[in-house]
Amino acid sequence: MLHHKLKVSPDIALLIVRVIIGGIFVYSAWMKINDMAGTLANFAKMGIPDVLTYIVTYGELIGGLMLIIGLLTEVAVSFLFIVMLVAVYLTKDFGFGMFALPLATLAGLVSILGCGAGKYKVKKI
């Protein structure tokens, strides 16, 4: 029987998590921005006012970029954590397929909250 151990340093693991989770937010925000009229209409159906739609959309873009580069990750994660809590709540009644991505993204954010950004990050501006 072969025993193969795959070991990744915690700092590399955190970098990978940050890039993946940050990339999800950047992509999601970019899709919203590219169809802002549709985004505003979809958010309005959920009772979310336009001003919050803009805050969430651009917050996801900026927060995702901050996660990727590891800049002020605690601030970015805190904002994105709240966004994902709301997303999980708003999608919970539509079945697992609908709220699985917000839930998984929330789990990634929790790992960053618990462990920090790791050593591969922007130190200061």
User: Which pLDDT value is given to residue 3?
Assistant: 59
Structure tokens at 10: 């915690």
Whether 1 shows a pLDDT value over 60: the answer reads no
In this predicted structure, the answer to whether residue 60 has a pLDDT above a threshold of 60 is: yes
Angle between helices 10-34 and 36-45 (to 10 degrees): 100
**pLDDT tens-digit readout, 4-21:** 677 889 999 999 999 999
Residue 111 above 70 pLDDT?
Answer: yes
Q: State the sign of the Cα–Cα–Cα–Cα dihedral 107, 111, 116, 119.
A: negative
Q: Phi first, then psi: what are they for 72, rounded to 5°? A: 50, 50
Separation between Cα atoms, residue 72 and residue 58, nearest integer Å: 16
DSSP 52: H
- At 79 the pLDDT is 98
What pTM did the predictor assign?
0.91
Q: 76 exposed, middle or buried (CB, 10 Å; 0-12, 13-18, 19+)?
A: buried
The mean pLDDT of the chain is 93
Quote the pLDDT of residue 125: 66
32-59 pLDDT, tens digit each: 999 999 999 999 999 999 999 999 999 9
For residue 74, the model assigns a pLDDT of 94
Write out the two tokens for 21: 């989770």
Nearest 10 degrees: CA dihedral of 58, 63, 66, 68? -110
Given this model, what pLDDT does residue 106 score? 94
